[in-house]
Amino acid sequence: VQSSVLPLFYQDLTNPMFKTQFVLYHRRFSTNTNPKWQLAQPMRVVGHNGEINTLLGNVNWVKAREASKGSLLPDGDGVRDLVDYQATNNIVELCNTQDIPAVLEP
């Protein structure tokens, strides 16, 4: 997708009530999977360099950090059960009461 046509795909970018300092996106498909539109960006919170590759990697990342930082996810309503199928972006979004760099640091 060329940057000039982003507003056609993401109409919130042209909505005058939508305010943001900037928008991040990238135009490259993953090199380790077959190209599919449903795998394309953007994510709502996290922009990345393509190194977020596996669901299992995301789950293990969260579990490893919980050992040293305590729970990254809020308690209640089964939210912690979502880790098994949530992507990194969704985990960061769930942690929106925390500082994003603190959530992402190793």
What residue numbers bound the domain in which 21 lies? 1-42
CA–CA gap between residue 12 and residue 68 (Å, rounded): 38
pLDDT, one tens digit for every residue, the chain (106 residues): 677 787 787 787 788 888 777 666 665 555 666 666 665 555 666 665 555 556 666 667 767 776 666 665 555 444 455 444 345 666 666 666 667 667 666 6
Residues 35 and 58 in one domain: no
CA–CA gap between residue 23 and residue 83 (Å, rounded): 26
Q: The pTM is what?
A: 0.30
Query: What per-residue confidence (pLDDT) applies to 8?
Result: 83
Query: What per-residue confidence (pLDDT) applies to 84?
Result: 40
Residue 103 burial class via C-beta count within 10 angstroms: exposed 0-12, middle 13-18, buried 19 and up: buried
Residues 72 and 101 in one domain: yes
Residues 12 and 35 in one domain: yes
For the chain, what is the domain count?
2
Query: What per-residue confidence (pLDDT) applies to 77?
Result: 46
Q: Which two three-digit tokens encode residue 80?
A: 């912690």
